Amino acid sequence: MRYQFTEDLVTGNPLIDSEHKTFIQAANNVMDNLSDGTDSAAIMGTIQFLSNYAKTHFKHEEELQKETGYPDIVAHKKWHRNFETEIETIAKDITTNGISSAAVVELTRKMSILLNHIRTQDKKIALHISKSS
């Protein structure tokens, strides 16, 4: 399974888009590791990177929302915190118990939820930022 930064994911904000590209690449690295049976140390590295990168990216998006007075910041932040927790749980599960098909399914599910968040919620922030600059 490989994710692509397709046209429907473009928000139009250069920082947000470039970070989403990095996130998708990081998710592909995890998926590659999970499917090719790489040793667990390598997987721990890639999944921890994904988890940390999500936090960094969410923080940047929230700073942009704060700077521009985005009206839906509270709900957006709440969604980010929840997603961070869920990714962290998967990362811990893989680190502790090794690769399982359940973990792969769970991560795949979380990725499709995140891509949907980009298509809907992150596009709204980008639009708001472009109008307020």
State the residues that interact with Fe ion by CB under 5 A. 61, 122
- How far is residue 60 from each of residues 49, 78, 102, 124, measured CA to CA in Å? 16, 15, 31, 15
* CB of 61 or CB of 86, closer to Fe ion: 61
Q: Shortest distance, CB of residue 41 to Fe ion, whole angstroms?
A: 29
* CB of 7 or CB of 39, closer to Fe ion: 7
Sorted by sequence, the CB contacts under 8 Å of residue 34 that are 6+ apart come out as 43, 99, 103, 104, 107
Q: Shortest distance, CB of residue 122 to Fe ion, whole angstroms?
A: 4
* CB of 86 or CB of 122, closer to Fe ion: 122
Q: Shortest distance, CB of residue 125 to Fe ion, whole angstroms?
A: 7
Dist. CA 9–CA 71, nearest whole Å: 22
